[in-house]
Amino acid sequence: MNDTVRWNWSDKVIEVLNPEWETDEASTTFTMLYQKDMYTPQYMFSIGEAGWLGGTGKLTQKDISMDGRLYNRIQFTVSLRPGPNPVMLTANSAGSKVVTVRRNVTNASLPVTIMGEGKENIAFTSPTQGYILAEPNQKIDISGDILQHNDLYDKLTVSVEQYQQSSEDAYLQYEKVKSIELPIKDQAFAGSFTLSEKGSYLIRVLSPAYISSVESRQMMTQWAEFVVDVE
């Protein structure tokens, strides 16, 4: 008996009418039409050089008749960090496209974003804001306190990643330009860095390597982030 491989080709692709837009809000909501017989689209939100996180939408309309075909409409709501936010729209057998939503910051008191286990472990003295508008080579201080004692809490790692204006098909949207280690001493940390090139930078603060893994080595996780625009 011979095995048979059957290829099913799809002519469905994702088309983007508006690849970029701006908002002053902390989130953006948009809709997408997709052909009824294709897989339901999803979105992915860039978390910097570390990759993407996925999200799903809400079906708002069904069986919309257009050009002799039936379509559904899905609505996505995406949380935004300050500055540019690459969002990938994707569906099985239809490829993917990246749109970019820029969040303009009007509230100067926007705090540093602390996430996950960082909420119980870290507090910042500097920066005092989650969005910094800086000049080239301006010193940016980063300091604060570690809220819990752990023998494995030896240092923080600061990953400085520059946003790269890429094509709609590009997977990588951030490039790491430097990595800084901040030793933890007496449950406190302090350091600084500068940025010479103009652009938008995502600053990710990574924990000490304290999380156990199946590979029998300790791993880091992200505790916080803020954004720097150099103009």
The DSSP bridge partners found for residue 229 are 133, 200
Tens of pLDDT, residue by residue over 72-81, are: 999 999 999 9
> Going from the N-terminus, what domains does the chain have, and what CATH number goes with each?
20-103 (2.60.40), 113-230 (2.60.40.10)
Quick one: pLDDT at residue 15? 76
Residue 151 tokens read as 């023998």
Quick one: pLDDT at residue 172? 75
Quick one: pLDDT at residue 17? 80
pTM: 0.87
Quick one: pLDDT at residue 11? 55
**Nearest-angstrom CA–CA distance, 183 and 196:** 24
Tens of pLDDT, residue by residue over 4-44, are: 444 444 455 677 788 899 999 999 999 998 888 888 999 99
The DSSP bridge partners found for residue 44 are 54, 88
Identity of the amino acid at 203: I
Quick one: pLDDT at residue 91? 85
Quick one: pLDDT at residue 7? 44
Quick one: pLDDT at residue 10? 47
In terms of Cα–Cα distance, which of 137, 84, 83 is closest to 110? 83
Mean pLDDT by 10-residue block, N- to C-terminus, for the chain (231 residues)?
46 75 94 88 92 93 92 94 93 83 86 96 97 96 97 97 76 90 98 97 97 81 97 93
